[in-house]
Amino acid sequence: MKLNHDLSKKHSIHFFFKLLLVLLLINILINIAMSNITRNFIKNQNIVHLRSSIEIYADSVNEKLHSVERFMYSTITHNESLEKLNHVQTFLDYQEDLKKVQTSFAEFEYQNETHMTFLLETDSTDYFINVSNLYIPYEDYLLLKSNLKSLRSDISDRKWKNVTTKNSEYLVKSVHYEGKIIYAVISSEDILKPLRKLNIGNNGKLSLKEPNNIPSENYLIHAQNEKTHLPFDIYVLVDYAEVFRNITLLEVFLSAVPIIITILSIIIILYIRQWMIKPITRLTERLSQLGDSIPPSEFFISEGILEIDKANDKLNKVIFDMQELKIREYHSQLELKKIELNYLKNQIRPHFYLNMLSMIHSMLQTKNYKEIEELTILTSNYLRHLFMANQDFSELKDEVQHIKDYLEIQRIRYGNSIYFSLNYSDDLQNTLVPSLLLQTFIENTIKHGFSFQDLFTILLSIKK
């Protein structure tokens, strides 16, 4: 209420100039605060999105790993061909049984869309062979062959193991049963491949081990196996500088725009104040001091601005012209009243109406009552239009009807010696035309051209 009361008062341009500066500064501060709030909100939303994606991914991986484990246990305990491979047999039998085992693993791989390598080791025959597609480099396969020997003694541990070679990291699951061992091997790169689609920046990293030397501008998301129920932890290093580069540029732009607008506004306001507001203020002050007893020329001086100087030059003339205009307007009103009076007098046309009365009197003597009634109605309509035609313009349909009434009176007066033809479009009926203009032409035509000896023809065509 107090602010509204203060703004309702009259203030100078300096007050509004300072008020505008304060508002611009407040706008800058609000814009900076909103930018920070927006940036933090987007970052938090991105973290929530990443965590949700990791949880969804963890559920999917858990389901696949459990299906792999169930398949491995089922195969090692119930597959007859696998049992035969653990005993000495001919080469043809070995090839046939191995093919059956590989077919079983291939069908599982096709149904579950897994990129996992399955290896088989037997005690009796000392075989170490792959029974599925090989998704690991052959060099790593040889290294894993020696490393996996250490897992044979750890029969009770059924967890997935982390095995590292020179260049890669693998997860290995082993299942032991009656001298047979099945290994499931998958690289960490294949496990983390679905998460590569996440936007973590060019310098972001996905790994199963905690990264070292984390930059301060990056953010680490640690998905612990206690929460994900995976046999490993997941570490997602987010490169915020890269992920939010476009947002940062937008924030800088949005922060710079109010500052630029403020500077330009100050420059424009100062210019307007110096070269427009001050001269107009002086002109207003001089106009407020203008009185009837003081000549206007004493108040208007040159301001150095073309428009204001022209206004100063015209103001004296305008003031004097206004006084003269009032006098002229008064005389014009008097003259207009005289013209209107003369116009009405001329419209009455006494000789025309005397003729009408004489015609009615003659018809009474001859008892032509029907024609008297018709003539009376036509004359009444004719007079009504004349007295209503006090405006400058009338609609065309009214003027045409007035002409028809006038010609009908002449027909009663002169008989069928006058032929009238009218041609105009219906869309012109509401067009405004000068009042009595057409009737005047028709009346003058009959007055100066009519003769009882010949048929008198009037053709009237109206076009837009």
Tokens 């010609």 sit on residue: 407
Q: Number of structural domains, the chain?
A: 2
Integer Cα distance of 298 and 123 in angstroms: 125
Burial class (CB in 10 A: 0-12, 13-18, 19+), 147: middle
Percent of the chain whose pLDDT exceeds 90: 0
CA dihedral of residues 365, 369, 371, 376 (deg, nearest 10): 100
pLDDT value, residue 224: 78
H/E element, 393: strand 393-395
41-78: pLDDT as tens digits: 877 887 788 788 888 888 888 888 888 888 888 888 88
Given the DSSP bridges, would you call strands 418-424 and 456-462 parallel, antiparallel or unpaired? parallel
In 415-461, alpha helices (H): 437-449
Band of the pLDDT at 150, cuts 50, 70, 90?
A: low
The model carries a pTM of: 0.47
Percent of the chain whose pLDDT exceeds 70: 81
239 forms bridges with which residues in the sheet? 218
Integer Cα distance of 10 and 4 in angstroms: 12
Residue 126 domain-assigned (yes or no):
yes
Query: What Rg do the C-alpha atoms of the chain give, in angstroms?
Result: 54
| 379: containing domain | 349-462
* Domain final position from 245, 269, 284: 245
Q: How many Cβ atoms are within 10 Å of 320's Cβ, its own excluded?
A: 12
380-391: pLDDT as tens digits: 887 777 766 566
Strand extents, DSSP E, 132-242: 161-164, 169-177, 180-187, 205-207, 218-223, 234-239
Integer Cα distance of 153 and 353 in angstroms: 140
Whether residue 341 has pLDDT greater than 50: no
* Domain final position from 213, 245, 277: 245
80-103: pLDDT as tens digits: 888 888 887 788 888 888 888 888
Whether residue 4 has pLDDT greater than 70: no
Residue 284 domain-assigned (yes or no):
no
Q: How many Cβ atoms are within 10 Å of 238's Cβ, its own excluded?
A: 24
Whether residue 158 has pLDDT greater than 70: no
Residue 162 domain-assigned (yes or no):
yes
Residue 286 domain-assigned (yes or no):
no
Residue 285 domain-assigned (yes or no):
no
Is residue 224 within 8 A of residue 51, CB to CB? The reply is no
383-436: pLDDT as tens digits: 777 766 566 678 888 888 888 888 888 888 777 888 888 888 888 888 888 777
Whether residue 357 is found in the same domain as residue 236: no
Whether residue 44 is found in the same domain as residue 178: yes
Burial 99-132 (b: 16+ CB within 10 A, else e): eebbebbeebbeeeebebbbbbbbeeeebbebbb
* Domain final position from 245, 262, 290: 245
Whether residue 359 is found in the same domain as residue 233: no
Give the range among 47-51, 113-117, 291-295 with minimum mean pLDDT.
291-295
For the segment 222-229, the average pLDDT, to the nearest whole number, is 78
pLDDT value, residue 302: 64
Is residue 20 within 8 A of residue 236, CB to CB? The reply is no
CB under 8 A, 24+ apart: contacts of 340-346: 340/390
pLDDT value, residue 1: 45
Residue partners of 417: CB distance under 8 A and separation at least 6:
450, 452, 455, 456
Residue 44 domain-assigned (yes or no):
yes
185-220: pLDDT as tens digits: 888 888 778 777 777 777 777 777 777 777 766 777
pLDDT value, residue 385: 75
pLDDT value, residue 303: 64
Residue 409 domain-assigned (yes or no):
yes
Integer Cα distance of 186 and 172 in angstroms: 7
Whether residue 348 has pLDDT greater than 70: no
Given the DSSP bridges, would you call strands 234-239 and 128-130 parallel, antiparallel or unpaired? unpaired
Whether residue 32 is found in the same domain as residue 171: yes
- What average pLDDT does the structure give for the chain? 77
Residue 300 domain-assigned (yes or no):
no
Whether residue 229 is found in the same domain as residue 356: no
252-266: pLDDT as tens digits: 776 677 778 778 877
Of the candidates 426, 440, 441, the one whose C-alpha atom is nearest the C-alpha of residue 395 is: 426
